Chain A
Amino acid sequence: MEAPLESPADEVTRILDSIPGLVALLTSTGDVDVVNRQVLEYFGQTLEELKQWGTNDTIHSEDLPHVIDIFTRSIASGSPYEISQRFRRSDGVYRWFQNSGFPLRDANGHIVRWCVLLTDIDERTRAVDALRASERNLKLIIDTIPALAWSARPDGSAEFFNQHYLDFMGLSAEQAADWGWTVAVHPEDRNGLSATWQRIMASAELGEAEARLRRYDGEYRWFLVRANPLRDEEGEIVKWYGINTDIEDRKRAEVAEQALNRARAELAHVTRVATLSALTASIAHEVNQPLSGIITNASTCLRMLDDNPPNVDGARETARRTIRDGNRASDVITRLRALFSKKELTLEPLDLNEATREVLTLSLGDLQRGRVVLQSELASDLPTITGDRIQLQQVILNLLRNALDAMADVHDRPRHLLIRTERESADRVRVSVRDAGVGVDRQSMNKLFDAFYTTKSDGMGIGLSVSRSIVARHHGRLWVEPNDGPGATFSFSIPRAPEGVTDAGGAGNTKV
Chain B
Amino acid sequence: MRERSLVSIVDDDESVRESLPDLLWQVGFAAQAFPSAEAFLGSEAVGKTRCLIVDIAMPGMSGPDLQLELMRRRHHIPIVFITAECDEAARRRVLAHGAVECLFKPFSETALLDALAAALG
| Residues of chain A whose beta carbon lies under 8 Å from any beta carbon of chain B | 281, 284-286, 288-297, 299-300, 303-304, 307, 314, 318, 321, 324-325, 328, 458
Contact = CB atoms under 8 A, between A and B. Distances in A.
B26 A325 contact: no
B22 A314 contact: yes
B108 interface: yes
A299 B106 CA distance: 12
A490 B14 CA distance: 39
Contact of B84 (A285, A296, A325): A285
A461 to B, nearest CB: 13
Contact of A300 (B15, B26, B86, B108): B26
Given A292-B82, A300-B19, 19 more contacts: A284-B85, A284-B86, A288-B84, A289-B16, A291-B105, A291-B106, A292-B105, A293-B19, A295-B108, A296-B20, A296-B109, A296-B112, A300-B22, A300-B26, A307-B26, A318-B19, A325-B15, A328-B15, A458-B86
Contact of A295 (B13, B26, B84, B107): B107
B112 to A, nearest CB: 8
A292 B84 CA distance: 8
A293 B62 CA distance: 20
Contacts of B84: 284-286, 288-289, 292
Given A284-B84, A304-B26, A321 B18 contact: yes
16 contacts: A289-B13, A292-B15, A293-B13, A293-B16, A295-B109, A296-B16, A299-B108, A300-B22, A303-B23, A307-B26, A314-B22, A318-B19, A318-B22, A321-B18, A321-B19, A325-B15
Contacts, number: 72
Contacts of B86: 281, 284, 458
B27 interface: yes
B88 to A, nearest CB: 9
B18 to A, nearest CB: 6
A458 B104 contact: yes
Contacts of A297: 19, 22-23
A293 B26 CA distance: 16
B108 to A, nearest CB: 6
A299 B108 CA distance: 8
Interface in B68-105: 82, 84-86, 104-105
Most interface-central of B18, B27, B106 (chain A CB within 10 A): B106
A288 B105 contact: yes
Contacts of A284: 84-86
Contacts of B19: 293, 296-297, 300, 318, 321, 325
Given A284-B85, A288-B105, A292-B105, A299 B15 contact: no
Contacts of B16: 289, 292-293, 296
B101 to A, nearest CB: 15
A79 to B, nearest CB: 117
Given A289-B15, A321-B18, A458-B86, A300 B107 contact: no
Nearest to A456: B86
B27 A292 contact: no
A281 B84 CA distance: 9
A304 B26 CA distance: 7
Contacts of B107: 292, 295
Nearest to B103: A292
A297 B84 CA distance: 17
A321 B26 contact: no
Interface string B1-35: 00000000000010110111011001100000000
A285 B105 CA distance: 9
Given A296-B19, A325-B15, A458-B86, A303 B27 contact: yes
Contacts of A307: 26
A314 B82 CA distance: 25
